[in-house]
């Protein structure tokens, strides 16, 4: 049953993924993806189907919300003002040339022949990749340094920092205190970027989100609950 996709009339494609470590059925809905159902080892396919049927209304509403979020994505085109912390996006018209990009010296230069090529799905994906290339360069230079600074300031210890282009999570901390940070943190205001790093540093001490976790995060971040609420205004995949 691992990775099997089935079509539901009122929902569309639903992917069922077997997970021996899962303790209960879980539905996950992400941008640009099918509905995924995590199925514990002891749950039958029939019961998993029944579970999806029971959650049909909730799934449809969640899919609508995801679609609304997707529609808020920035359309990158000539004339738009966009920059990361260290790079400015520029468009340069270059007749009879393919869509190309050059990242360096504080600029993300997009060379294009026609605006139609820029606005196409392929063009937008190409521009996103160019921006992510710039973000990765910035993240590798800044995030390990900033994590070390905050760890020393608040007496945390971690094993290493890995910089990744994560789909939905801003960061994570492993059981051996390896910290993973998303390159898209570089699009956040500085105080929220620090909040995410501190969130993961606190996980080096408290592995869950229990009372002690939030009390510690409150001490080091200043206003943990308010910052957590502010983070809801941002999405890793929505620029």
Query: Which residues 6+ apart lie within 8 Å of 195 measured at CB?
Result: 221, 224, 227, 228, 231
Would you say the pTM of this structure is higher than 0.85? no
Tens of pLDDT, residues 110-136: 999 999 999 887 888 899 999 999 999
Structure tokens given for 56:
């049909």
CA atoms within 13 A on the CB side of 190: 4
Tens of pLDDT, residues 45-82: 999 999 999 999 999 888 877 776 666 678 899 999 99
* CATH 3.30.2010.10 boundaries in the chain: 140-231
Superfamily designation of domain 140-231: Metalloproteases ("zincins"), catalytic domain (3.30.2010.10)
Listed as ranges, residues in the chain with pLDDT below 70 are 1-2, 31-33, 68-72
Per-residue pLDDT, 50: 94
Per-residue pLDDT, 65: 74
């Amino acid at each position: 049953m691992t990775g099997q996709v089935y079509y539901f009339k009122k929902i569309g494609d639903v992917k069922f993924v077997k997970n021996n470590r899962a303790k209960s059925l879980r539905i996950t809905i992400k941008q640009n993806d099918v509905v995924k159902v995590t199925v514990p080892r002891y749950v039958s396919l029939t019961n998993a189907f029944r579970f999806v049927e029971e959650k049909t209304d909730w799934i449809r509403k969640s899919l609508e919300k995801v679609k609304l979020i997707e529609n808020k994505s920035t359309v990158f085109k000539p004339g738009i003002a966009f920059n990361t912390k260290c790079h400015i996006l520029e468009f340069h018209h270059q007749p009879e040339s393919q869509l190309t990009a050059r990242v360096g010296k504080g600029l993300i230069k997009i060379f294009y022949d026609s605006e139609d090529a820029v606005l196409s799905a392929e063009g937008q994906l190409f521009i996103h990749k160019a921006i992510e290339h710039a973000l990765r360069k910035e993240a590798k230079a800044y995030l390990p340094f900033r994590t070390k600074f905050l760890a020393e300031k608040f007496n945390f210890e971690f094993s290493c920092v890995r910089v990744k282009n994560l789909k939905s999570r801003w960061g994570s901390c492993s059981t051996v205190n390896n910290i993973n940070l998303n390159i898209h943190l570089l699009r956040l205001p500085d105080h929220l970027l620090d909040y995410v790093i501190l969130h993961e540093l606190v996980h080096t001490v408290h592995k869950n989100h229990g009372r002690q976790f939030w009390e510690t995060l409150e001490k080091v971040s200043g206003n943990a609950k308010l910052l957590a609420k502010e983070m809801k205004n941002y999405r890793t995949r929505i620029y």
